[in-house]
A and B are shown apart, each in its own frame.
Chain A
Amino acid sequence: MPPIELLLQQAWNGLMLGAMYALIAVGFTLFFGVLDVIHFSHGDIFMLGAFAGLSVLAGLAAVGLAQPLVLLALAFVAAIVITGAVGVAAERACVKPLARSSPLMTLLATLSLGLVIREAVLIFYPRGADPKPFPRLLPSGGFEMGGVLIRYDNLIILAIGFAAMVAVDRIIKGTRMGAAIRAVAQDPEAAQMMGVNLGRTVDATFFLGSGLAAVAGILTGLYYSEVHFIMGITGGVIGFSAAAIGGLGNVYGAILGGLLFGVLQTTAAALIPRGSEFRDVVAFAVVMLFLVVRPSGILGEKSVERV
């Protein structure tokens, strides 16, 4: 049994990982709420966000910009915009047309879309098959608290993650578009009758979700100092599972699910021998177990079929 400090350390790491998962999970849950679809390519959108950030950083560095703060800010903004736009385009081209037909079709379509995005990055990004180093832009060093090493860069990652979550909360609860999103999630027809523009609301939801995924992507790049074109698969599966754990359609459930997942994954990896190799296996096994035990999530799923 590892010492308590190690476990706390892992829990702290898990919290950070969880914050990134949470951001992806929120996207999944928003899309389910608004269109009743499982957007399987969202994981690859997350990967795209990371690569978009990477490209922007590379471009800015080539131009000679070196200020980490400015670089980061620009990278985030650019990645959010690019990824958001791609997300909306994907939704308009592939998801919405099929949303009325059987869920199988939407599932297959979004899976294929994910494949296309993944392969496109592999093929068109220079030497896309290799993991790509991500610039270290965050301050190094840290401090100790209660036997746990808290690094500055991790703290900043967590802070940005949390800031993003707060931003989502503000948008959903405090803006007209947020209200529209909630209305459409509850009842699209009633919402439309109240004057909500369904098309624009769906677009906005996808922009929001994809933008969040981009933030998660850059944070992941900063955390691991590298990105890889296949990171979207794991990210997607875990993000979806986290959303499912929290109850599909429930934004706070998604955040909770993401954090829970992160903590669970890192602590389990610490406890199981050869845990870090099998870390993904643990994640997936937890997913499967959870779906057996409580498929409608901790906070409950959105819809019930009418008989």
Chain B
Amino acid sequence: MILVLASEAVLFVLAVAGILAERPLPLAATGGVLAALALLLRFSPKLRGALVGAFTAHRTGALAGAAVFAVLLPFALRASPYWTFVATLALLYVTIGQGLNFQIGTAGLINLAGAAFAGLGGYTVGLLTVTGGWPAWLALPLGPVVAVAVGASLFVPILKTRGHYLALVTIAFVFIFNILMNNFEFTGGPQGIKNIPTLQVFGYAFTTRLTLFGVALPAHANFYFAALVVAGLTTAVIRRLHDSWLGLALNTLRDDEIAAKCSGVSITRAKLTAFSVGNFFIGLGGAFYALMVGFISPPDFDFGYSLIMLSVIIIGGVDSIPGVVLGACLLLPLPERFRFLHEYRLLLYGVVILVMLLYRPQGLWPAAVRRYR
């Protein structure tokens, strides 16, 4: 157990140091330590074995430890509202990623319109609050509901068609969505929707600066903690659905639809369920984003973002629930950290995906055998 907590602590410290270090020397030192650790793990099977053993034996403890460190993160980042924001964004991508992974990884449904479903969530929230005058907390759950409804109505006929057609249809949809949002008056056109009110729960506005345990945190920390709860719940729900009859049926129909059919699986129902569950969480991420940032516009939800969501899944590991968490935590902060790479961000994402697919298609944290815990 000590090994588990110690390694998590080391990772935490290194991550924070890597994020906050401004001057070259501390930055290089952090990088050096990370590289050294990576090499150590690579070439010492004993160490790897010990770590894997420790983490498997103390699974709940490891999760609890990770949760504690996740809660501690805003405290470590309290000097930087920007990085608190980035961390929150990573958590939103965890939520979205789990939904998308359920569709693509678990069920084999190639949904390239992730950005559109996130956009449906975001625009629903924006329209309900700004145009409709709804309070934010009421509009928030409706975002995912709209995403699910639109997804279901559009794709009920399409779900019966083969994989590459679904991909094509979803690409078409994300473009249609983008163009429509850009050209309709009521969605604000290219300007989008501004002044989305922030989340207010029982009179507490999420834009107030938070003070916990005597430590002053940036306002974004409110959203961070909320996003942490959402991401945590999403991951738990998805994992439970994955390790159930539904997940088994989806994996089977992904690998061999005919075998699934002849084993009694209703393909349409299973696919529709997976699609809807996925869209719910994708829409939830988008809705949350709208509340957090306060304004949305069509470029926030274009095809490029679908590809970013995709890369999160591929890097972590297709159909791998911990992989999504890893993918989001790696992919979101890194380009922010290395600002000079920002222009090359999408190019790098593309190259990384290609390299992963060619040399490690199972991802950095491959999906494990289902154990139904």
- A: which residues have CB within 8 A of B? 38, 40, 94, 97-98, 101, 103-105, 107-109, 111-116, 119-120, 123, 233-234, 237, 240-241, 244, 274, 277-278, 280-281, 284-285, 287-288, 291-292, 295, 305, 307
User: Which has the most chain A C-beta neighbours within 10 Å: B104, B161, B171?
Assistant: B171
B158 lies within 8 A of A281 (CB): no
* 17 sample A-B contacts, Cβ–Cβ < 8 Å, listed by A number: A104-B110, A104-B163, A108-B353, A111-B112, A112-B311, A112-B350, A114-B350, A115-B349, A115-B353, A116-B350, A120-B347, A233-B303, A237-B168, A237-B175, A244-B168, A288-B169, A291-B168
A101 lies within 8 A of B361 (CB): yes
Q: Which residue of B lies closest to A284 (CB)?
A: B172
- Complex Cα spacing A295 to B157, Å: 11
Interface presence of B164 (CB below 8 A): yes
Give chain B's interface secondary structure class.
helix
Chain B residues with Cβ under 8 A from A292's Cβ?
A: 157-158, 161
Partner of B353, one of A104, A112, A281: A112
Smallest beta-carbon distance B95→chain A, Å: 21
User: Which has the most chain A C-beta neighbours within 10 Å: B169, B180, B354?
Assistant: B354
Chain A residues with Cβ under 8 A from B158's Cβ?
A: 288, 291-292
Chain A residues with Cβ under 8 A from B237's Cβ?
A: none
Smallest beta-carbon distance B363→chain A, Å: 12
Known: A123-B347, A278-B183. Contact between A240 and B353, CB under 8 A?
no
Chain B residues with Cβ under 8 A from A103's Cβ?
A: 163-164
Inter-chain residue pair count (beta carbon < 8 A): 114
- Given A233-B175, A295-B161, 20 other A-B residues pairs in contact with their CB atoms under 8 A: A40-B167, A103-B164, A104-B163, A109-B353, A111-B310, A114-B350, A115-B307, A115-B353, A116-B354, A119-B347, A120-B347, A244-B165, A277-B179, A284-B173, A287-B168, A287-B172, A288-B154, A288-B169, A291-B169, A305-B258
Partner of A109, one of B258, B343, B357: B357
- Complex Cα spacing A40 to B310, Å: 15
Chain B residues with Cβ under 8 A from A104's Cβ?
A: 104, 108, 110, 163, 318
Interface presence of B265 (CB below 8 A): no
A278 lies within 8 A of B161 (CB): no
Chain A to chain B: the 5 pairs with minimum beta-carbon distance, closest first: A115-B350, A119-B347, A284-B172, A116-B350, A112-B353
Q: Which residue of B lies closest to A40 (CB)?
A: B167
A38 lies within 8 A of B175 (CB): no
- Complex Cα spacing A193 to B192, Å: 60
Chain B 340-367, CB within 8 Å of chain A: the 1/0 string?
0001101101110110011001000000
Known: A103-B164, A113-B350, A115-B350. Contact between A281 and B310, CB under 8 A?
no
Q: Which residue of A lies closest to B348 (CB)?
A: A119
A107 lies within 8 A of B172 (CB): no
Chain A residues with Cβ under 8 A from B154's Cβ?
A: 288
Chain B residues with Cβ under 8 A from A295's Cβ?
A: 161-162, 165
Chain A residues with Cβ under 8 A from B112's Cβ?
A: 111
Known: A119-B344, A291-B169. Contact between A107 and B164, CB under 8 A?
yes
- Complex Cα spacing A116 to B358, Å: 15
- B: which residues have CB within 8 A of A? 104, 108, 110, 112, 154, 157-158, 161-165, 167-169, 171-173, 175-176, 179-180, 183, 258, 303, 307, 310-311, 314, 318, 343-344, 346-347, 349-351, 353-354, 357-358, 361
B357 lies within 8 A of A280 (CB): no
Known: A97-B358, A123-B343, A292-B158. Contact between A108 and B350, CB under 8 A?
no
Chain A residues with Cβ under 8 A from B169's Cβ?
A: 287-288, 291
Partner of A288, one of B173, B180, B346, B353: B173
Chain A residues with Cβ under 8 A from B162's Cβ?
A: 295
Chain A residues with Cβ under 8 A from B347's Cβ?
A: 115-116, 119-120, 123
Chain A residues with Cβ under 8 A from B104's Cβ?
A: 104
Chain A residues with Cβ under 8 A from B110's Cβ?
A: 104, 107
- Complex Cα spacing A169 to B349, Å: 39
Known: A120-B347, A280-B179, A295-B165. Contact between A111 and B307, CB under 8 A?
yes
Partner of B258, one of A112, A234, A307: A307
Smallest beta-carbon distance B125→chain A, Å: 24
Chain A residues with Cβ under 8 A from B311's Cβ?
A: 112
- Complex Cα spacing A240 to B170, Å: 13
- Complex Cα spacing A98 to B361, Å: 10
Chain B residues with Cβ under 8 A from A307's Cβ?
A: 258
B350 lies within 8 A of A241 (CB): no
- Complex Cα spacing A116 to B163, Å: 23
Chain B residues with Cβ under 8 A from A116's Cβ?
A: 347, 350-351, 354
Chain B residues with Cβ under 8 A from A94's Cβ?
A: 354, 358
Q: Which residue of A lies closest to B257 (CB)?
A: A305
Chain B residues with Cβ under 8 A from A241's Cβ?
A: 168, 172
- Complex Cα spacing A113 to B354, Å: 7
Partner of B358, one of A98, A233, A237: A98
A281 lies within 8 A of B180 (CB): yes
Chain A residues with Cβ under 8 A from B167's Cβ?
A: 38, 40, 107
Q: Which residue of A lies closest to B180 (CB)?
A: A281
Chain A residues with Cβ under 8 A from B171's Cβ?
A: 237
Chain A residues with Cβ under 8 A from B307's Cβ?
A: 111-112, 115
Partner of B357, one of A112, A114, A287: A112
